[in-house]
């Protein structure tokens, strides 16, 4: 990039980098607390991931950093392990190992060209998952917004803890938190070009300082650049972290491909999925070696940088440098930031995650996919964030299997005034030749749907039927289980005086049919290149 960088881009990248910093600092600190870690780790993570992606990342505008969707996942694995006998240093070590594992998994996936794994989370299940995540984040941050703390395991415990703890509300904390949240939401809606989070944070710090409010604050941050640290954990802890890293990697890849696609279209670029994974893998490895935690692409921060005129990753480099300078020379700049303000930043992010309109659209357009989204939502809300990932992936895979298991089937006819043969449900007046049934099966023919295919053909084999003509173009594969079924079915139909005939079968599928030896029972002449050829042959043979 250095050799192709144009000087005219520098002013825009510098301005965008400064604007981006105003978002990176408060969000980084807030998302660190969301992950159950000290706020300073959010700044360390932001610096290192931006530097690493500057070197290895392929996109010109994507911004990486601590992410609201990953925070609860990190907390779900780190917090219980710390509560079992650890401290904040232990939590940081666990999170750093988690980042290293995510980085390794990302890098391996990039080398193996496994970018397609992002497809394991379909849009409906992803929609349900992020909505469940948004509710989980919101409920978990409410006590901090009200100035008290609770201990709970799961969404229902968090709700119960919040309700029972309302008597311990700190009015000053609630005023700061709710006021800051209102400022963020109002400015984002009506004045989107104004840095809403910066305005709210500065206002909250000013209020605490001027009126000396009794509110929990962040306190002084450690001075200096984050030190290189090799995190150490036990073998048992490593196993738990490795399992969690798989889920975090999947979510991070899915989020990255989605965000990269959106902004690549705006810039006229192409998404290079495997290179993106390599870049994010490097970012996670760098963060893990400097007391950081797993990171992902941030849609909100990328949008801010893009709107501010960012042209290249120099924008991220400026952001990393600005944070580093703050830690080196003015580490006490944010010591009076109220904790309820951090909660407000996280809650605002949860509102951005939620997509109620998307759920409503699914309800109107496709009820089955709405049910999948709802199941993923319930999975996150009831069984937890990390198990919710497994639920979402399982639902996506099962939905694919369902479509193959029960594909769309149609009996075809020839409508008047329309070329070709079409579904009789769409054209009920379509003409059919006596004794000829044309049948279309819209899926590869495999073990999962072989029984379905056989039962449909048996249902069509009525008295007077002479040919059952399969429009085979949608059949992209025939496995050995289906081949055995076809052989038995053909013999069964022949005994009734009915021929099983195929048209428009793809050549690779026909080659498999020949290799299976099915033409021993199915007449080789009963494979036609087009439906018209098959119909003409039927008319010649049956009059």
pLDDT in tens, 165-216: 999 999 999 999 999 999 999 999 999 888 899 999 999 999 999 998 989 9
Q: How many CA atoms lie within 13 A of 66 on its CB side?
A: 37
Whether 84 has a pLDDT exceeding 60, the answer reads no
Residue pointed to by tokens 């021993």: 520
Residue scoring higher pLDDT (285 or 386): 285
Looking at residue 210, what is its pLDDT?
A: 93
Instruction: Write b or e for each residue in 83-122: b if 16 or more Cβ atoms lie within 10 A of its Cβ, otherwise e.
Output: eeebeeebbbbbbbbbbbbbbbbbbebbeeebbebbebbb
Looking at residue 396, what is its pLDDT?
A: 79
pLDDT in tens, 313-334: 999 999 999 999 999 999 988 8
Looking at residue 86, what is its pLDDT?
A: 58
Which is it for the CA torsion 440, 444, 449, 453, positive or negative?
positive
State both tokens at 482. Answer: 């289906």
* Cα angle 385, 389, 394; round to 5: 145
Report the pLDDT averaged over residues 41-66: 93
Looking at residue 267, what is its pLDDT?
A: 63
Q: To the nearest whole number, what is the mean pLDDT of the chain?
A: 90
State both tokens at 148. Answer: 């008290």
Confidence band for 269, pLDDT divided at 50, 70 and 90: low
CA distance 215 to 233: 35
Taking CA atoms, 414 is separated from 133, 423, 542, in Å, by 51, 9, 18
Looking at residue 121, what is its pLDDT?
A: 74
Helix axes 39-56, 273-288, angle to 10 degrees: 140
Looking at residue 5, what is its pLDDT?
A: 81
Whether 413 has a pLDDT exceeding 90, the answer reads yes
Looking at residue 2, what is its pLDDT?
A: 61
Whether 268 has a pLDDT exceeding 70, the answer reads no
Instruction: Write b or e for each residue in 135-174: b if 16 or more Cβ atoms lie within 10 A of its Cβ, otherwise e.
Output: bbbbbbbbbbbbbbebeeeebeebbebbeebeeeebebbb
Looking at residue 454, what is its pLDDT?
A: 96
Residue scoring higher pLDDT (402 or 529): 529
Whether 401 has a pLDDT exceeding 90, the answer reads no
Report the pLDDT averaged over residues 58-78: 90
Looking at residue 1, what is its pLDDT?
A: 55
Length, in residues, of the chain: 543
Whether 85 has a pLDDT exceeding 70, the answer reads no
Looking at residue 122, what is its pLDDT?
A: 80
Q: Which helix (H) or strand (E) holds 64?
A: strand 64-65
* Phi, psi values for residue 511, rounded to 5°: -65, -40
Residue scoring higher pLDDT (414 or 152): 414
Looking at residue 113, what is its pLDDT?
A: 84
Looking at residue 495, what is its pLDDT?
A: 94
Looking at residue 285, what is its pLDDT?
A: 97
Report the pLDDT averaged over residues 443-469: 94
Query: Count of CB atoms within 10 A of residue 468's CB?
Result: 21
On whether the CB atoms of residues 325 and 194 are closer than 8 A, the answer is: no
Whether 461 has a pLDDT exceeding 80, the answer reads yes
CA distance 541 to 524: 16
CA distance 537 to 543: 10
* Cα angle 110, 70, 331; round to 5: 105
Confidence band for 540, pLDDT divided at 50, 70 and 90: very high
For the chain, what is the total number of helices (H) and then of strands (E)? Answer: 20, 8
Helices (H), 67-195: 71-83, 88-111, 123-146, 155-165, 171-190
Looking at residue 54, what is its pLDDT?
A: 94
The most confident of 3-17, 370-384, 525-539, by mean pLDDT = 525-539
């Amino acid at each position: 990039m250095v050799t192709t960088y144009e000087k005219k881009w520098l002013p825009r990248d510098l301005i965008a980098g400064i604007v981006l910093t105003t978002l990176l600092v408060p969000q980084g600190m807030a998302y660190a607390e969301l992950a159950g870690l000290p706020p300073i780790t959010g700044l360390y993570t932001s610096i290192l991931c931006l530097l690493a992606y500057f070197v290895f990342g392929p996109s010109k505008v994507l911004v990486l950093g601590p992410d609201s969707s990953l925070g609860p996942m990190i907390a779900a694995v780190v917090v219980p392990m710390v509560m079992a006998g650890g401290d904040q240093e232990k939590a940081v070590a666990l999170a750093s190992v988690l980042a290293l594992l995510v980085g390794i998994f990302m890098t391996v996936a990039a080398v193996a060209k496994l970018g397609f794994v992002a497809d394991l989370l379909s849009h409906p299940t992803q929609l349900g998952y992020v909505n469940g995540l948004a509710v989980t984040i919101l409920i978990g941050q409410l006590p901090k917004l009200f100035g008290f703390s609770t201990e709970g395991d799961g969404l229902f415990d968090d709700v119960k803890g919040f309700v029972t703890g309302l008597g311990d509300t700190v009015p000053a904390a609630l005023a700061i938190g709710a006021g800051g949240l209102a400022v963020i939401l109002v400015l984002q809606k009506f004045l989107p070009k104004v840095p809403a989070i910066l305005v709210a944070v500065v206002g909250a710090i000013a209020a605490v300082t001027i009126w000396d409010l009794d509110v929990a604050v962040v306190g002084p941050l450690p001075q200096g650049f984050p030190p290189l640290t090799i995190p150490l954990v036990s073998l048992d802890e490593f196993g738990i972290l490795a399992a969690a890293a798989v889920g975090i990697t999947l979510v991070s890849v899915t989020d990255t491909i989605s965000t990269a696609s959106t902004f690549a279209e705006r810039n006229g670029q192409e998404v290079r999925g495997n290179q993106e994974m390599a870049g994010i893998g490097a970012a996670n490895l760098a963060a893990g070696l400097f007391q950081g935690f797993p990171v992902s692409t941030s849609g909100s921060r990328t949008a801010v940088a893009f709107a501010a005129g960012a042209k290249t990753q120099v924008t991220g480099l400026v952001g990393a440098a600005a944070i580093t300078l703050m830690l080196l020379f003015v580490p006490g700049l944010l010591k009076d930031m109220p904790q309820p303000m951090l909660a407000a930043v996280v809650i605002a992010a949860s509102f951005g995650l939620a997509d109620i309109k998307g759920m409503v659209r699914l309800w109107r357009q496709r009820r089955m996919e709405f049910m999948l989204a709802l199941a993923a939502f319930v999975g996150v809300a009831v069984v937890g964030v990390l198990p919710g990932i497994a639920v979402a992936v399982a639902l996506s895979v099962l939905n694919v299997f369902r479509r193959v298991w029960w594909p769309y089937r149609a009996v075809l006819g020839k409508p008047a005034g329309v070329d070709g043969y079409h579904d009789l449900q769409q054209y009920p007046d379509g003409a059919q030749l006596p004794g000829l049934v044309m049948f279309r099966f819209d899926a590869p023919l495999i073990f999962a749907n072989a029984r379905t295919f056989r039962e449909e053909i048996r249902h069509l084999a009525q008295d007077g039927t002479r040919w059952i003509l399969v429009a085979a173009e949608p059949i992209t594969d025939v496995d050995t289980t289906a081949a055995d079924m076809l052989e038995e079915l053909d013999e069964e139909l022949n005994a009734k005086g009915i021929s099983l005939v195929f048209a428009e079968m793809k050549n690779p599928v026909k080659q498999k049919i020949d290799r299976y030896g099915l033409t021993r029972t199915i007449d080789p002449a009963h494979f036609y290149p087009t439906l018209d050829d098959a119909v003409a042959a039927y008319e010649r043979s049956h009059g």
